[in-house]
Amino acid sequence: MSISPVPSEDSLTITLKFKVQVKQFKTQHRNSNIAAEDIELSINSLTNFKEKLFEYTQPKIQRLVTIEGEEYYIAEFDPTIEQLARFAKIRRNQHNYEIDNLTWDILTNWSRNPPYPELSILQFGDHVTNKVRYAKVQSLFYAPAEVDNSGAPSNAVIDEIAAELKRVHSNHFRAMDIVWRIWATDISRKPTHMHPELILATPPIELMRLFDLATPNDRQWNHFNNANRTAQQVVGDLNERATLTLSDLETFETKFIQSLDSLQNTISELRNDAVVLRRIVTLARGSVDFTQRYRQMLSTLSGQDLTPFLDMADRFERNIEDMPDIDHDLFQS
C-alpha cells in the first residue's frame, strides 16, 4: 500500500466532486429509496479527505449486527473511521479504487480532470453481497409479527392495530368491525417495523371492495364523537383540578385558623402586660405628690447642701412626664 506524504500546511486546498449512490448490498444497483446526489469536499490533506468522507458517510452506515461471524452496520451505531473502506467504494473510468490505497496525487488529479469519481455507500458493508445475505441482515434488524401459542397473530396486537386504523381512516372509509379486523390481521402478519407505514396507507386492493366511502354525515358524526371525547377529557381534567383546589383551600383554612388563634393569644398576653404597665404608670404619676412633699421637707432644712437631693427630685419628675400614654384601644379590655 502506497501512501503519499502529507502535504505541507502551505499547500492549496483542493475541491473533490463525487456522484454518490447508496446501496443496500454490494452487487445491487443504488437504493431507489435514497436519491443519488453530487457532493463537494474541500480538503487539504489525505487525512482530511478521509475525515470529511467519513463525516458524510457515517449517518448512512450505523447500527451493528453479526451474521456468521461478520459485522454489519446500519442505524444507531457509530463505526470508526478505520472501518470506512468497508462501506465506501470509489470508482472512476471503470476502475475501482480502495480508499486505503488512495494518494494525495490521485486526489489532486481527480480535482483537476473530469470525470467525477463515483462514490458508492454500502449500508451493510462489503460482506453483504447478495439478496439472501441481505435478507438475513434484515431479519435481525426488525422484530417479526407477534403471535400467540398457536402461531396465529396476537389478538391484542390485532385489536390495537384495528383501533388505530379506525382512528386514521374512519373519516374516509366505512366498514363493519370485522372488516377493520381483517385489515388489521393482514398488517399484523408483517414485520413490526412496517406497521406504522401500512396503517397510514389505504386498504389493500383485495380489501377495498369491503369498504364504503364515508359520507359527509359520517364525517360530521366522527368529528362530533372526537369532539365529545375531547370535551369529556377536558371535564375530567377540570374535576381533578377542582378537587386539588378544594383540598388546597381546606389546608389553607386550617393554617389560617391556627394563625388567628396564635394572634389572639398574643393580643391577650399584650393586654395582660398592658394592665400591669398601666398600674405601674398610675403609681408613678401618683407619686408626684410625694415629690412635692419631698421638696417641701428639704426646704425646711437649713445649713445643708441639698443640691444632690433636689437634682434627684427634678430627674424623677422629668421621667414621669416622659412616660408614654399606653391607653391605646388595642389594650382596652
pLDDT digits (tens, 9 = 90+) for 240-295: 665 655 566 666 667 666 666 666 666 566 566 666 556 655 655 555 565 666 66
More confident residue, 18 or 147: 18
Do 25 and 99 lie in one domain? The reply is: yes
User: How many angstroms separate the CA atoms of 144 and 151, rounded?
Assistant: 12
Task: Give yes or no: residues 127 and 50 share one domain.
Answer: yes
Q: Do 293 and 230 have their domain in common?
A: no
Q: Are residues 297 and 215 in the same domain?
A: no
Q: Do residues 118 and 21 lie in contact, with contact meaning Cβ atoms separated by under 8 Å? A: yes
For residue 327, what are the domain limits? 276-333
Residue 9 lies in a domain: no
pLDDT of residue 104: 92
Flag whether pLDDT at 2 surpasses 60. no
Residue 224 binned pLDDT confidence (cut-offs 50, 70, 90): low
Domain boundary residue, one of 124, 140, 156: 140
Q: Does residue 320 or residue 9 have the better pLDDT?
A: 320
Q: Is 250 domain-assigned?
A: no
Grid cell listed for 147: 403471535
φ, ψ of residue 230 to 5 degrees: the values are -65, -45
Q: Residue count of the chain, please give it.
A: 333
Residues 126 and 208 in one domain: no
User: Do 329 and 289 belong to one domain?
Assistant: yes
What is the Cα–Cα distance from 189 to 210, expressed in whole angstroms? 20
User: Nearest Cα to 156, choosing from 147, 144, 169, 168?
Assistant: 147
Q: DSSP E strands: which ranges in 148-227?
A: 173-174, 212-213
The Cα–Cα gap between 13 and 240 comes to: 66
Using CA atoms, how far apart are residues 275 and 272, in angstroms rounded to an integer?
A: 5
Asked if residue 294 belongs to a domain, the reply is yes
Say yes or no: 300 and 326 in one domain: yes
pLDDT in the model for residue 253: 63
pLDDT, position 326:
45
Is residue 18 domain-shared with residue 95, that is, in the same domain?
yes
In the predicted model, is pLDDT for residue 122 greater than 50? yes
Match 449486527 to its residue by C-alpha cell: 65
Q: Is residue 292 part of a domain?
A: yes
Cβ count near 194 (within 10 Å): 12
**211 closest CA partner among 172, 237, 250:** 172
SS3 content of the chain, % helix, strand, coil (to 5): 55, 15, 30
Work out the pLDDT band at 94, boundaries 50, 70, 90: confident
Residue 56, pLDDT score: 83
DSSP state letter for 153 = B
Rounded Cα gap, residues 81 and 259, in angstroms: 70
Q: Are residues 73 and 167 in the same domain?
A: no
Task: For residue 8, count other CB atoms closer than 10 A to its CB.
Answer: 8
Residue 179 has a pLDDT of 82
Residue 7 resides in a domain: no
CB 27 within 8 A of CB 134: no
- What confidence tens digit (pLDDT) does each residue in 35-48 have? 567 888 899 998 99
Say what the pLDDT of residue 164 is: 92
Say yes or no to pLDDT of 83 above 50. Answer: yes
| Total structural domains within the chain | 3
pLDDT band at 78 (very low <50, low <70, confident <90, very high): low
Contacts of residue 203, defined as CB under 8 A and 6 or more positions apart, other chains included, come to 169, 173, 183, 210, 211
The predicted model gives 64-91 an average pLDDT of: 69
Q: Are residues 48 and 159 in the same domain?
A: no
Of 206, 65, 224, the residue nearest 136 (C-alpha): 65
Kindly tell me if the per-residue pLDDT of 67 is higher than 80: no
Better-predicted residue by pLDDT, 33 or 1:
33
pTM: 0.38
Which of 238, 255, 287 is the last residue in one of the domains? 238
- Residues 118/29, Cβ–Cβ less than 8 Å: no
Q: 78, 107, 140: which is the final residue of a domain? A: 140
Quick one: which of 124, 120, 121, 20 has its CA closest to 62? Answer: 124
Does residue 5 belong to any structural domain of this protein? no
Query: Are 136 and 156 in the same domain?
Result: no
In a domain, 220, yes or no: yes
Q: What's the farthest any 2 CA atoms get from each other in the chain? A: 143
Q: Do 332 and 219 have their domain in common?
A: no
Average pLDDT, the chain: 70
The proportion of the chain whose per-residue pLDDT surpasses 70, expressed as a percent, equals 46
The whole-angstrom separation of Cα 151 and Cα 134 is: 26
- Give the position of cell 425646711: 300
Mean pLDDT, range 172-196, rounded to an integer: 83
Amino acid, res. 244: L
Q: Say yes or no to pLDDT of 332 above 60.
A: no
Whether 249 is in a domain gets the answer: no
CA distance 37 to 162: 40
